[in-house]
């Protein structure tokens, strides 16, 4: 099959230009340019709300080879079977080659047609190895995908990029959180999920363990959470700089003080840390992929994890809190999990729900369930004594 002419470009804020061919929607799009090292899972990655505000480059050279299924295909919980949210969340896609003739029993359309229908641009034919090398050396940076790149004035495109808001200054969580409570499942036992941009994989894991999931807006108050009488609270993944989530951090701090069992995941770990007085910092190019090694510091055992984050907890600031490091990244030594010394509070930086990626750390959900059951049992014992 003949390749389309190079009619698009990716311009980075440092002036680097990568030419390629347009696919998906032919629109301009600006975002923070990041990369993912996974070989599969583009359906889950593109619908992961943690990528809101970002242009995603894939290091694996071929994308779209198993096509795109229908949102209408549901799992046993009534959630979209193959996706992590109800729409594409990335601002754009960069790849070496976008497959135009996919092959899979569930495929209903091509990657390009899917992206076009949701207004998301892509650029293919890019030397993604050179792009990733640039981002690893200089750090992630803002960029713009512009269609008709060779025919347009590059100075005008650069002007659009220069006027754009920085990634860190924006509150992307507001755009991916629910605006009012959303209920999943039926059970007498409830888990409140503070929705900072949750992946459906997290909801599925909680439902599979017999809990009703109550998704609340990210900026819900302590009283709004407690009126649901939750067995525990999950603070989920999400996009952007955690420092903008002041209300969420305050709420989580109150929940920890009240000894409500807490599980933080990804951005949720950073929020848990901030609620206890720890600081966060931006990683040079983040951890995004499905083969990130982590070590459980309590056992010395290693795990392969799925990750997608650009910020982390500062280890020195954690030492001044009641949080103790639980997991450590084997590549760069950053904190990948924390445990509270005296409260039923735990958090991990990786994604125990995977989707995409290995299920090595799904036991984190079981440990959270144990904490919730322990809290309920202690409460029942106290009520029995008082009676």
21 and 97 in contact (C-beta within 8 Å)? no
DSSP labels, 28-93: -EEEEEEEE--SS-HHHHHT-GGGTTEEEEESSSEE-TT-B--TT-B-TTSSBTT-SSSS---SEE
**353 given a catalytic annotation:** yes
SS3 content of the chain, % helix, strand, coil (to 5): 30, 30, 40
Instruction: Identify the active-site residue in 184, 287, 340, 351.
Output: 351
**336 given a catalytic annotation:** no
Q: How far apart are CA 28 and CA 119, in angstroms?
A: 10
Instruction: Identify the active-site residue in 236, 251, 266, 345.
Output: 266
**Do the strands 8-12 and 17-24 form a parallel or antiparallel pair, or are they unpaired?**
antiparallel
349 and 308 in contact (C-beta within 8 Å)? no
Q: Is 261 helix (H, G, I), strand (E, B) or coil?
A: coil
Identify the residue whose tokens are 């995409």.
356
Instruction: Identify the active-site residue in 13, 116, 124, 353.
Output: 353
323 and 312 in contact (C-beta within 8 Å)? no
**266 given a catalytic annotation:** yes
> Measuring CA to CA, which residue among 361, 342, 341, 343 is closest to residue 351?
361
Q: Phi/psi of residue 203, each to 5°? A: -60, -45
Q: Which residues form the catalytic set?
A: 266, 351, 353
């Amino acid at each position: 099959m003949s390749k389309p002419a190079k009619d698009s470009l990716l311009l980075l804020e440092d002036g680097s230009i990568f030419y390629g061919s347009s696919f998906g929607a032919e629109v301009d799009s600006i975002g923070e340019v990041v990369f993912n090292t996974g070989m599969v899972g583009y359906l889950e990655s593109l619908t992961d709300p943690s990528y809101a505000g970002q242009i995603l480059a894939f290091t694996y050279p071929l994308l779209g080879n198993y096509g795109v299924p229908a949102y209408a295909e549901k799992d046993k919980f009534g959630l979209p079977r193959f996706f992590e949210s109800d729409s594409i969340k990335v601002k754009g896609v960069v790849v070496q080659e976008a497959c135009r003739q996919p092959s899979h029993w569930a495929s209903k359309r091509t990657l390009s047609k899917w992206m076009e229908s949701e207004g998301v641009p892509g650029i293919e034919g890019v030397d993604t190895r050179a792009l990733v090398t640039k981002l690893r050396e200089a750090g992630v940076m803002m960029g713009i995908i512009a269609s008709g790149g060779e025919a347009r004035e590059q100075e005008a495109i650069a002007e659009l990029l220069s006027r754009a808001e920085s990634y860190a200054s924006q509150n992307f969580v507001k755009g991916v959180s629910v605006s009012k409570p959303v209920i999943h499942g039926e059970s007498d036992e409830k888990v409140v999920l503070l929705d900072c941009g949750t992946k459906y994989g997290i909801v599925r894991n909680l439902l599979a363990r017999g809990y009703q999931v109550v998704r609340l807006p990210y900026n819900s108050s302590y009283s709004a959470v407690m009126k649901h009488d939750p067995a525990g609270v999950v603070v989920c993944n999400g996009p952007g700089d955690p420092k903008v989530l002041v209300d969420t951090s305050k709420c989580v701090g109150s929940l920890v003080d009240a000894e409500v069992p807490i599980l933080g995941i990804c951005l949720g770990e950073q929020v848990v840390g901030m609620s206890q007085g720890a600081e966060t910092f931006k990683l040079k190019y983040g951890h995004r992929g499905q083969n990130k090694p982590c070590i459980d510091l309590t056992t010395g055992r290693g795990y392969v994890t799925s990750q997608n984050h650009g910020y982390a907890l500062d280890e020195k600031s954690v030492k001044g809190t009641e949080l103790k490091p639980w997991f450590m990244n084997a590549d760069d030594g950053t904190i990948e999990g924390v445990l509270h010394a005296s409260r039923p509070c735990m958090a991990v930086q990786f994604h125990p729900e995977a989707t995409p990626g290995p299920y090595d750390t799904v036991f984190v959900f079981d440990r959270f369930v144990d904490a919730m059951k322990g809290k309920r049992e202690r409460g029942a014992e106290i009520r029995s004594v008082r009676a």
